[in-house]
Amino acid sequence: MNNADFWASLRRIIAEGFTPEGLLKLDCYAEQFISGRLVYQRFSPQEQYGCATGGATNVIASLLAGAEVSTNRGGQATFSDFQRERECATRQEVVIEQWAKKVGIWTDHVESTLPQSLGKQIAEGGEAVVYDHGTTLIKSIGLDYFIQPVFALDRISLHNTYFPETKLMVLGFGRDQQGEFKIIAEQPYIEGQPVNDEDISTFMLQMGFELKNPRNWTYATPEIYLSDMHDENVLRSLKSETLFVIDCDIRINTPELRQGGTRILSTAVEFL
């Protein structure tokens, strides 16, 4: 199967409404992705592994979102960049919602449903609501920072690549009472204490990141953009000197971000 055949296959699965045969094929693609036999060139090999550690749900949702990104839609010449992005985001949301409902991983009214089933709300940030689930945390992650689901899913895959000790496992998807799309993920609970900006900067430099903007805690390499690295999102373990990143804004660093990025987003796949 070549690149064009793969995306055509995914679009058929979507168009046919996720039949049992289509769902089996999606599971097969996920298994091939996780085992490395399907190479998605949007990611480096390490990032593809990070996507896989987010679970088959993360993998399939990333591919379904990619199918909508790779679709060449006509009649958009008069759209603004924001209109095109919102239209692409809506298509991705609809496709992921249809699939998630078919396989039973969709939650309506997440803000009332999750506390009843998973634990009480303990925190709320700019993009996520956090629930106590004993030894783990459940996060209801919105698209405020990303608009398109594909970029929010990238964020999970990249977080798992660079900060595997606090990896995010995607459990499902849903909407809140305002109709806003949510990714529901699980993360280990880390007991720790905040660290200062100097400690975070040293940690980032050791990882090969360059400080770009201290006002919004932004770091970057030519490959990765990383922001929101402040003292509420990084903890020092109470048992050791290890630093744990529990939350951040992490993206593939493309030239459009204007942070020295060299990556070009690809939708190409290859079967080995």
HEC assignment per residue over the chain: CCHHHHHHHHHHHHHCCCCHHHHHHHHHHHHHHHHCCEEECCCCHHHHHHHHHCCHHHHHHHHHHHHHHCCCCCCCCCCCHHHHHHHHHHHHHHHHHHHHHHHCCEEECHHHHHHHHCCCEEEECCCEEEEEECCEEEEEECCCCCCCHHHHHHHHHHHHHHCHHHCCEEEEEEECCCCCEEEEEEEECCCEEECCHHHHHHHHHHCCCEEEEHHHCEEECCCEEEECCCCCCEEEECCCCCEEECCCEEEECCHHHCCCCCCCCCCCEEEC
Q: According to the model, what pLDDT value does residue 41 have?
A: 96
Q: What tokens were used for 6?
A: 């793969």
Residues 160 and 148 in one domain: yes
CA separation for the pair 214, 227 (Å, rounded): 10
- 89 pLDDT band, cuts 50/70/90, is very high
- 10 pLDDT band, cuts 50/70/90, is very high
Q: What pLDDT, in 10s, does the model give residues 94-123?
A: 999 999 999 999 999 988 888 877 778 888
Instruction: List phi, psi (to 5°) of 147.
Output: 70, -60
Residues 7 and 94 in one domain: yes
Q: According to the model, what pLDDT value does residue 71 have?
A: 59
Residues 55 and 134 in one domain: no
Residues 30 and 84 in one domain: yes
Residues 180 and 204 in one domain: no
Q: Please indicate whether residue 78 or residue 250 has the higher confidence score (pLDDT).
A: 250
Which domain-ending residue is among 188, 207, 236? 188
Q: According to the model, what pLDDT value does residue 70 have?
A: 64
Q: Which of 31, 54, 51, 35 is nearest to 43 (CA)?
A: 51
Q: Is the dihedral of CA 17, 18, 19, 21 positive or negative?
A: positive
Residues 137 and 220 in one domain: no
Domain of residue 128, CATH code: 3.30.200
- Look over the chain and give the mean of its residue pLDDT values, rounded to a whole number: 91
Percent of the chain with pLDDT over 70: 96
Q: According to the model, what pLDDT value does residue 136 have?
A: 93
Q: According to the model, what pLDDT value does residue 139 have?
A: 94
Residues 8 and 100 in one domain: yes
Residues 93 and 123 in one domain: no
Percent of the chain with pLDDT over 90: 72
- 3 pLDDT band, cuts 50/70/90, is very high
Residues 41 and 117 in one domain: no
Instruction: List phi, psi (to 5°) of 155.
Output: -55, -40
Q: What pLDDT, in 10s, does the model give residues 126-159?
A: 788 999 888 899 999 999 888 899 999 999 999 9
Which domain-ending residue is among 188, 205, 240? 188
Q: According to the model, what pLDDT value does residue 7 have?
A: 96
Which domain-ending residue is among 163, 188, 213? 188
Residues 75 and 119 in one domain: no
Q: According to the model, what pLDDT value does residue 148 have?
A: 94
Instruction: Say which residue the tokens 């603004």 belong to.
Output: 80
- 12 pLDDT band, cuts 50/70/90, is very high
Q: What pLDDT, in 10s, does the model give residues 198-252?
A: 999 999 999 999 999 988 899 999 999 999 998 889 999 877 788 999 999 999 9
Judge whether residue 14 has pLDDT over 50. Answer: yes
Task: Give the chain's domain count.
Answer: 3
Q: Which domain holds residue 213?
A: 192-257
Residues 35 and 53 in one domain: yes
Residues 133 and 79 in one domain: no
Q: What pLDDT, in 10s, does the model give residues 20-55?
A: 999 999 999 999 999 999 999 999 999 999 999 999
Judge whether residue 78 has pLDDT over 50. Answer: no
